[in-house]
Structure formats: structure tokens, C-alpha cells
Chains A and B, each alone.
Chain A
Amino acid sequence: MPTVAELAVQSLGAETPDAAHGGQVIAARALNLTFQTNDGPVHALKDVNLTINKGDFVSFIGPSGCGKTTFLRCIAGLEAPTGGEITVNGMTPDEARRARAYGYVFQAAGLYPWRTIGGNIKLPLEIMGFSKSEQADRVKRVLDLVDLAGFEKKFPWQLSGGMQQRASIARALAFDADILLMDEPFGALDEIVRDHLNEQLLQLWARTEKTIGFVTHSIPEAVYLSTKIVVMSPRPGRITDVIDSPLPKERPLDIRDTPEFIEIAHRVRDGLRAGHVDD
């Protein structure tokens, strides 16, 4: 097990040439985004450089206003950067969005109350024009993936908050995008449910080999889940540290008590604190 000192640290602002190999899924170079508000311009993202490789589980962590959600929305093509460039699967985010390259999970499950769980998962499939039999197959498969088999005919209000969020993850998985973008998906859930879902998410990631971008403000959650932790700080929103996690892929919940885990958590906390002193 390497120590923190040995952790591979990605240098900030300098993209290494070998980062452009085939495994690279998301690449941002000198990304800037300024919102024009009534109180003047807000620098939501400043000079963000980041490369995410295929199969990475990347967490974005930082206080509110640090631009972590904005960056995720830039990847998704839901926000347009005002400077720099960003590619997703070698395309612009908007092209990637139209190619349905990613599934997006929001903080709230956002299931349609008038559709059953199965019907909600079918929503993207109907929009994308899958055949009826294909839809049924996929619903069954993703419900198995998130451990909700047998709940297909239930309505959202009949499920707990954690189960609803799992259904919304199933909905994002249904059309087999390689990238899964998650914006604080477990933020509204209590600690015990959250632990359970984190564990399940890791298993799901291992089975599907997806590239995951995960926004959170919980240090243990970020360290437990990620292969790469991106620490951000606000005003202007920027990356202050990128930590490649040395933890093994196999992670039982009690890995959180190991010295390695605690060391990484320390480094994340230091990064957050450093960003805080700046403003």
C-alpha cells in the first residue's frame, strides 16, 4: 500500500501529453465559466484543467459555490463554458448530449408520480425509440442492477427515499451510456441509507465498468467511492487538488477505519481548508 507521499498527484494547469491516449473520456482545458447576474459577473469556473479516463470514479468535492455542480453540468452540456475547451468522448459536450453519451442523476430522484417505477425507467427508452420488448428487457435488467427487482409496478410514493434514488439511478443506466454523472445523488438521504447506497454503487460500478463523475460535499463519501478525488474551492470556482486514490478496488465499508483511508481524508480536508483560507 503506498503512502500519501507516494500518491500520484496530477499537476494542476499542465496537461501531460500522454493524457491524450485512447482511454481518455473527459478532458477539460483552461475551462472558464462566468455567469452574468444582477450583482455583476460570478466566476463559477476558473482555469479548470482535468482529464478523466475510462473506468474512473471521479468525485468532485468542495464547499457550495465551488463550481462542482457547474463543472458536471458543463460535461453534460447543460451549461455552456465561456472560455477554454472541454471534450466528452472526443466530442463537444453538446454533441455528446445529443449522442446520449451519459446518464445524469440529480440530487432529487425526480421520478414522475404518474408513472410506475418501470414506467419511469422506460421514459428515456421511449424518448430514444427503443422497441417495446427491448424496453421491457432493459427495465428488468437495470432493476436487478439496483436491487429493485419486483418493484416495477409500484408507484414512486410507495417507495422510500433511498429506493426512489436507486430507481433514478436505474433510469440513468437504462440506455447504456458509458458515462454516469451524479450530482449529490445521496445528499438528501440519512447516513445509514447513504452508506448502503455507496456500497451498492461501488458494486454497480465494478459490474458495469462505467466512468462516473460524482459530486458530493461529504469527505468520507468521496474517499470511499473514488479512484480520483477532485478538491475544489469557491470564488472563483477552481480545482485546488487532484488525488489519485491508492485504495484497492474492492472496498468493504470498514476500509474507512484504515490508516490509508484516514490519510487520504486528511489530504482532502487540507485541500478544502487551503481553498477556504484563500478567500
Chain B
Amino acid sequence: MKSLLPILTVIGAILLVWFVAVVPMNMHLTADQAQRDGLVVSPETPAERQTYSGLGLTLKNPSLIGLTYGLERPRLPSPHQVGAEMWDTIFEKRVTSRRSLVYHGWVTLSATLLGFAIGTTLGILLAVGIVYNKAMDMSVMPWAIASQTIPILALAPMIIVMLGAIGIQGLFPKSVISAYLSFFPVVVGMVKGLRSPDAMQMDLLRTYNASSAQGFWKLRLPASVPYLFASLKIGISASLVGAIVAELPTGARAGFGARMLVGDQYGQPLVTWAALFAAAITAAALVGLFSAIERMTLRRMGMQAT
């Protein structure tokens, strides 16, 4: 638990900056609201207030600072508002409810995991092909790299629409986007891992007259495991981003992405922020899970985690 103190320090610093920033960010909205509620605000007209910066207005109306933390539709919600919204939508709602973040989280997570499984399988197969087949070695890698230079935000709606046109809807199109983002780190890591045995290791197998398949199962594959885990940790978070992006522009009705969009469109920043944080926590949990599996596997294999 040595890492706990630095982590808490960073979180504390972020919260502090956030708390301080809430005041000037929300001051104009707060002043408008206060005036409607009959409080004295200076300057007196919204047009005049627009000539002030958030900070300037705060200095003119220090009595309104407390109110900036309690707006219903703030420009920047305060941490406790986001926390309350998350508590409400995660723990207080039935998980089958459309207002439950657990429900939306599961929608996104299931697409993420399916896409991750597809992407990882594809990545490993491509890597094996690249290592064992000269033609694939020359041809696949440039395309794999090119595929990652296309902005996913532009590509995602096209894939969803095209798959929808041939009758494929729901989970699978989102998984395709996830797989599209997650196969790449797996290809790169696995190629490096499968090629990590040095010339001496390969010579040793030749002195045993080992077959190519034996070389793969006994040397190349186990040697690639540490590389694979490094890739999986990048791949799983890329998968989650892919699933969320796939939900954003396509009118999806459920999932973290849909939730963020709804919050934006209906002027409910708390909904957006809660979904954003829930997604971040999900990503952290997934990466943490794979780190734990990595440690366990490498320890069982006799290799210390790096």
C-alpha cells in the first residue's frame, strides 16, 4: 500500500483545483438565478455581467460563492454533485431501469468484452501469420498501421450504418469498433513477443531437431506471454473507448456513450459527467483486472512481473 499516499495526493490536488474552478465557471449562471430569486447582484443586467470574466464577477459578488455549488444545471458540476448523481444512478436505481448507470454500463461492457475477444483473437492470429509467413510479414503490418490512422469517430458511424443496412444491429456492430481498436496493440505486442527468442534459443531447438510446431508451442508462445499482457492492457481500454465511441453518433439508446449524449442534448451535465466518470472507473477496473491476471500468470510461470 506504499502507492496509496501518492495516489491520494494526486486525487486530492485534482479535487482542490476542481472545487476552486467551479466558482468562476458557474458564476454567471448563479448570478442570473440569484437575480430571479430576488437577491441583489451587481452589476444588475445580464448584458453588463457578460463584460466581466467569471473571476471578476466572483470578486464583485463574493456572497454568491456558496450558490455556485448548488446549481441544477451547472456549466461545471462540483465533485459532490457528480458523486451524488453517481450514487443515485448506480446504487439507488434498479439495475434494469433505464436511469441506472449499472444497466448502461453493462450494455457498454458487454460490447467491450465481445469486441476485445474478437480483436485479441484476430490480433494473435495475424501476429502468428506475420511471424511464420513472409508474404504476410511484408503485407499485413503496413495495413494494420494504416488502419489505426483513420479517425475512429469518422469510421464508427459508417460501420454501424453499413452493418445495419444488412440487418446486423445491437451488440455486434459496437463490438466491431472495439475489435478494430483493440487488435492493433495485440498484433504489435505479439509479433515482438513471438520474435523475442534469440538466435541461440532457435539453434538449441535445431540441435534437438524440433519441428516448427514444437518451436511455436514450447518456445515462441510462452516467450510471448509477457508481451501479450502488456498489449492486452492497452487493448482492453481501447476496446472500451471503441464501444463508447460507437454509441455516440448513432443514436444508441443505451450505454455510457448514449448516456453522455443524452446529458449533452438535454442540458443535464450531471448525467454526462456521471457517465464519464463511470466509464473511467470501468476502464481502470478492467486494466486493474488484467494487471492482476498478469501478475498471477507470470508468477505461476516462474517469471516475475515486469
Contact = CB atoms under 8 A, between A and B. Distances in A.
20 contacts: A77-B206, A78-B203, A78-B206, A97-B206, A97-B207, A100-B208, A107-B200, A112-B219, A112-B223, A113-B301, A113-B303, A114-B222, A114-B301, A123-B218, A124-B208, A127-B205, A128-B208, A156-B302, A157-B302, A157-B304
B225 interface: yes
Nearest to A78: B203
B208 to A, nearest CB: 5
A271 interface: no
A21 interface: no
A207 interface: no
A77 B203 CA distance: 10
A134 interface: no
A106 B204 contact: yes
A102 interface: yes
Contacts of B203: 78, 104, 106
A101 B304 CA distance: 36
Contacts of B218: 123, 126-127
A220 to B, nearest CB: 26
A114 B225 contact: yes
A24 interface: no
A141 B223 CA distance: 28
Contacts, number: 53
Interface residues of A, number: 26
B53 interface: no
B201 interface: yes
A115 B303 CA distance: 9
Interface band, chain B = 20 to 34
Which 9 A-B residue pairings sit nearest by Cβ, starting from the closest? A155-B302, A114-B301, A104-B207, A127-B210, A124-B208, A127-B208, A114-B222, A98-B209, A113-B303
Nearest to B301: A114
Interface string B6-49: 00000000000000000000000000000000000000000000
A233 B172 CA distance: 68
A110 B225 contact: no
Nearest to B204: A110
Interface string B193-227: 00000001101111111100010001100110100
Contacts of A44: none
Interface in B275-306: 301-304
Contacts of A30: none
A98 B208 CA distance: 8
Given A98-B209, A104-B204, 13 more contacts: A77-B206, A78-B203, A78-B206, A97-B207, A106-B200, A110-B200, A110-B204, A112-B219, A113-B301, A114-B303, A123-B208, A127-B208, A127-B210
